[in-house]
Amino acid sequence: MAEVLKERNEMDPKYQWDLSSLYKNDEEWEKDFAEMDELIAKTASFEGKLKDAKTVREFLDTQNELTGKLENVAGYASLRRSEDTRAQKAQIMWSKAYGKIVQATTALSFAEPEFLSLPEEILAELVKDPLLKDYAFNLEKILRMKPHTLSAAEERLLAGFGEVLGAPGEIASNLMDADLLFDDVTDKDGKTVEVNDSNYILLQSSEDRVLRENSFRSYYKGYKNHINTFAATYAANVKAMTAEAKARHYGSSREMSLYESNIPLEVYDQLIAAVHRHMPAMYRYVDLRKRLLGLDQLHYYDVYAPLTKGSDDKYTYEEAQKMVLDAVAPLGENYVNVVKEGLENRWIDVYPNKGKTGGAFSAGTYDSNPVILTNFTGTLDSVSTIAHEMGHSMHTWHSKTHQPRQYADYTMFVAEVASTVNENLMIEQLLQKESDPEKRLVLLEQYLENFKGTVYRQTMFAEFEKEAHALAEKGEALDPVSLNNLYEGLVKEYFGEEMVIDPEVQYEWARIPHFYSPFYVYVYATGYSSAVALSEGIMKKGEPARKRYIEFLSMGGSRYPLDELKHAGVDLTTPEPVDIALTKFEKVLEEAEKLAAQLGK
């Protein structure tokens, strides 16, 4: 009989998140939703009036109120949907909320073009007007966007297509989370095991190689069966973005994605170049993995297999909570107390259930506490995931606590820094406590996996995106064959000759949801590189480094992200942080190789 997940209503509520800081129930959400039209109309009524500081201030305050309300309405609907993607009510709520986002975006599309149409001397005066000082940085950013802002009519037209242009990602998400089915498989003992999106990585982490191979082939068979649909949705997503970039006078869709946060293309390119320079270290790691597993051939379904005996240790959620609190202790008592509040007051939706969104994320709004979705399985990796997502939540908490609403949202570029600092602090603390060679090797394996998954793998994804968008911009087709070949070629380059590239590997790109938020994945790698420097500084330098780091967390979106990181002590305009991070990877790898030799492996 197949092992199956429980329905959500069969789960213990104490392990489910409490969304009441956002809305007490769906009825309260409906009430807020019903007020959206009036607020949108009120904000849109400023059209044609943005000519003086007083009116601009009134508009920005009203827009801020609308943004907050919309964030709450859409955020809650999205969270409810993620609890069970099959639930019709939640799907309807999200559809209504998404439609309201498009309605508001369309209604307010006049603002930036109207503001930018003012004479240069008036714009300069407005930006410096004391009445607008609370919005000065946002106004400066709008001015910077002037060469890429269309007329009011064009912006309204483009905004009106928002829901349509976002459809490819919605279709792919529904297919992945709700409709895609996988064949049950058997393990080495002939026991039937269900394969689903929530448990796939857990199955790939099993010591049972038969189960790993069977689940691998079942999983990608599911994607292969729908690869034409996935290619069509992804191609549509890429084409939509390249068309918008062209309309906005950017050189490429990649430039458009990075421009708003003031990230030079060189930062993206330097990342890829640095990882390529350190590719021999990844090949060494692949070779170590092959030797430790005792395999003649290393297949892609061996990528997540535990390397050492004892690495299948399981932790209860309560044990995981203590491990997280211990890990973040170097960040100070105030930081620890807020983490404790989150753990005790149900910020976290802990276990998988049928229909629940796979993976993990942190969310929340300016008016609510942060919340975290995980699919906790008791592995060290899932404990680390809680630390990771709590880093996001703490970044959100510090930002909203110290910034006004208009500056509370930090950019995607810095979004992965706080999460990875927490992960690194956890693994470093565990290593400090552990002297047993076998158990130490387990921890080093986790460390190496973090580097592999966050720097090497995400950079591989970033290179895939760069090349896929470049193909579209040259007018070449993004069909299943071209996408499969592009991805398979990159896997070969990043993993080297010791890895057997199974035919199923070519379909993996289709299961990466981040590709529908173009040019986002690279920030995992730059964020991890920054986090390596910051976490080591916190451990070695203590209070001065901790103070700068907490200040960084508290900046929200009040500065450009590169400037925020420089304040914390990291300069990503140079390749140095990535080189330093990958040099750390090589040191960890060297110790793992020595321990393996010492243990006769």
Q: How far apart are CA 573 and CA 266, in angstroms?
A: 8
Alpha-carbon distances, residue 271 vs 266, 382, 456, 589 (angstroms): 8, 27, 10, 20
Catalytic residue selected from 83, 389, 488, 504: 389
Upper half-sphere CA count for residue 249 (Cβ side, 13 Å): 7
Q: Where are the alpha helices (DSSP H) in 187-252?
A: 200-204, 209-225, 227-247
Q: Where are the alpha helices (DSSP H) in 328-436?
A: 333-344, 380-402, 412-415, 417-433
Give the residue carrying structure tokens 């601009």. 56
Phi-psi region for residue 321, left (φ > 0), alpha (ψ -120 to 50) or beta?
alpha
389: annotated active-site residue: yes
Q: Using an 8 Å Cβ cutoff, are 472 and 254 in contact? A: no
* b/e sequence 489-510, b meaning 16+ C-beta within 10 Å: ebbeebbbebbbebebbbbbbb
Write the single-letter amino acid at 419.
S
If one counts every other C-beta atom within 10 angstroms of the C-beta of residue 332, the result is 15
Tokens of 98: 């998404």
* b/e sequence 105-142, b meaning 16+ C-beta within 10 Å: bbbbbbbbbbbbebeeeebeebbebeebeebebbbeeb
- Beta strand 371-373 with 361-363: parallel, antiparallel or unpaired? antiparallel
Q: How far apart are CA 507 and CA 487, in angstroms?
A: 8
Alpha-carbon distances, residue 184 vs 193, 219, 234, 305 (angstroms): 6, 10, 28, 20
Tokens of 310: 């004892």
Tokens of 229: 């649909």
Active site residues: 389
